[in-house]
Structure 1
Amino acid sequence: MLVVTRYRVEGSGGEVFRRDAASALAILSHCTGYLDGVIGRNVDDPGLWTLTTRWRDVGSYRRALSSYDGKVSAVPLLSRAIPEPSAYEVLETY
């Protein structure tokens, strides 16, 4: 499972967002089913950021977010995401 969340970060908020996203990834990385995650910034629009994670399955992702640590560290960040679908089923890998 692939989770792609996008964020609009204005002005000098990039470093704060990067720190918050790194903290969330550090917590999520200890959850069962977490595979990996990345923080990215759009090359053409530096105010557009993404937090992308991969999970073994949708249940692992949902359990991670419902855990105490997930609620404290990841959910506040995810609540600032651009409101759009974020969970994707991986159909093929190469």
Structure 2
Amino acid sequence: MLAVIRYTVPGPQTDEFAGQAREILAVFEAQPGFVSGQLSRSVDEEELWALVSEWEGAGFYRRALSAARLVMYPLMTLMINEPSAFEAVYRSERGGASPKLG
């Protein structure tokens, strides 16, 4: 399961935001079901950021959101309000595609 939380971050808040986002990833990393995570910035719109994480399932992600709520709260005003959880239905990797998932 892939989770993508997007943020619009004004230039002057970039350093503070990046530090807080790393804290969120640290909390996520300590949660059961966490597979990987990264903080990414748009190459086309420098104010657009994404906190991307991969989980063993949606339940793990939802419980991790509860565990991280205090760390996530200061960034809520920068968050883009949209669905964030995505179920994998097909995966392609170097060396060949995987069969349909799920």
What range is the shorter-chain TM-score in? Answer: 0.7 to 0.9
Cα distance per residue 1:22-66 (max 9 Å; x no partner): 011011101000001110111111111110010000010111122
Tell me which structure has the larger Cα radius of gyration: 2
Per the alignment, residue 89 of structure 2 pairs with 91
Deviation of the 1:11 alpha carbon: 2.2
Cα distance in 2, alignment partners of residues 44 and 66 from structure 1: 32
Tell me the SS of whatever aligns to 1:54: strand
Cα distance in 1, alignment partners of residues 32 and 6 from structure 2: 24
What residue ranges of structure 1 are gaps of 5+ in the alignment?
none
Structure 1's consecutive aligned runs of 4 or more residues displaced over 6 angstroms after TM superposition are none
What residue ranges of structure 2 are gaps of 5+ in the alignment?
94-102
Per the alignment, residue 98 of structure 2 pairs with none
- Give the conservation status (yes or no) of the 8 Å contact 1:24–1:77: no
Of all paired residues, the percent bearing the same amino acid is: 37
